[in-house]
Amino acid sequence: MDKAANVVEVSAENFQVEVAEKSSHTPVLLEFYAESAEATQDYSMILHQLAVEYQGKFLLARVNVQNNRQLVQQLQVRTLPTVKVIFQGKMLQDLEGPQDLTQLRILLDKITISPLDRIRENMEEMLTNGQRAEAIEMLQQIISQEPSNFALQAELCDLLILEGRIDEGRQVFERIPSDTEGIEKPSNRFYFLEVAASLPSIAELHSEVNKDNDNLALRMDLACVLVVSNELEAALGQLLEILKRDREWEEQKARTTMIRVFDLLGKGSEIATSYRRKMFTLLH
């Protein structure tokens, strides 16, 4: 079997360095196998495949049981194949016997998630439950401990704007470097806030659009105030209507504005995916 950079053979001599120390920052899958055991050969190929697929997010540490009986006894390995999952010095899982590939991926996704993604996952759960204020408080606490984590500050800025705490959001925004991951989202929110600041209400603009259905500028104004009210799907509907009527209007302003809204919706948004397809169909 070809060796990947994140696959290592382990013995009692290098266990401390390759497993104990490396597990402090990288999850380790400690695989116990025997060359003579057919059941471990197929399983080893699956684990090796995952080690390549996850590109260093975990270390596959392989223990040949025939050559390392001391480790087998110390770690109480009773059957083959066995995989022990170790992270930050703790045994997280003890997997005896072959495991389903899908279940292995679920386990690996859970333990290899980055700290930033873990925070975002928790935050998304809070937002889904309508706990925006709690999400803001959580981010503020984390940022107080990690003041140089500008990606989290971008997330905080965006939530402050949504919560109507515009001045606080602007203060956070002004200290974020321009190349910060995720800065596009609060940047676009401020763009729409500035555009909508002097515009009438949604109700008034709806009324005006109904009276003058072909007025694309009014539709653009309506789309912008809808964004500020976080009615993003309705805003995309207005922008798509502009594209249907005149793709080139105002140097394709409807298209570029839709892209701004896609950024606000974020990756994985079904609404963004749907309207991207519609936009692509119209433009091509």
- Does 219 score more than 90 pLDDT? yes
Spatial separation of the C-alpha atoms in residues 141 and 32, rounded to whole Å: 42
Give the model confidence (pLDDT) of 128-138 as tens digits: 899 999 999 99
Band of pLDDT at residue 117, cut at 50, 70 and 90: confident
Spatial separation of the C-alpha atoms in residues 187 and 166, rounded to whole Å: 12
Give the model confidence (pLDDT) of 150-170 as tens digits: 999 999 999 999 999 999 999
Give the model confidence (pLDDT) of 177-209 as tens digits: 999 999 999 999 999 999 999 999 999 999 999
Give the model confidence (pLDDT) of 232-251 as tens digits: 999 999 999 999 999 999 99
Global pTM?
0.65
Give the model confidence (pLDDT) of 4-63 as tens digits: 678 999 999 999 999 999 998 899 999 999 988 887 888 999 999 999 888 888 999 999
Spatial separation of the C-alpha atoms in residues 258 and 272, rounded to whole Å: 9
Spatial separation of the C-alpha atoms in residues 156 and 163, rounded to whole Å: 10
CATH architecture observed for domain 7-112: 3-Layer(aba) Sandwich (3.40)
**All structural domains of the chain with their residue ranges:** 7-112, 115-182, 202-283
Give the model confidence (pLDDT) of 262-272 as tens digits: 999 988 899 99
Band of pLDDT at residue 1, cut at 50, 70 and 90: very low
In terms of DSSP H, where are the helices of the chain? 15, 38-53, 69-74, 101-112, 115-128, 132-145, 150-162, 166-174, 184-196, 202-211, 216-228, 232-245, 249-265, 270-283
Q: Say whether 115-182 and 7-112 share the same fold.
A: no
| pLDDT of amino acid 279 | 96
What is the mean predicted confidence (pLDDT) over 209-226? 97
Give the model confidence (pLDDT) of 87-114 as tens digits: 988 888 899 988 888 889 988 988 887 7
One-letter identity of residue 32: F
Fold of the domain spanning 115-182: 1.25.40
**Residue count of the chain:** 284
- Residue in 15, 114, 121 with CA at minimum distance from that of residue 55: 114
> Which residues, other chains included, contact 99 with Cβ-Cβ below 8 Å and sequence gap of 6+?
43, 83
- Residue in 2, 107, 8 with CA at minimum distance from that of residue 59: 8
Task: Pick 202-283's CATH classification: 3.40.50.800, 3.40.50.1980, 1.25.40.10, 3.10.20.90.
Answer: 1.25.40.10
| pLDDT of amino acid 4 | 63
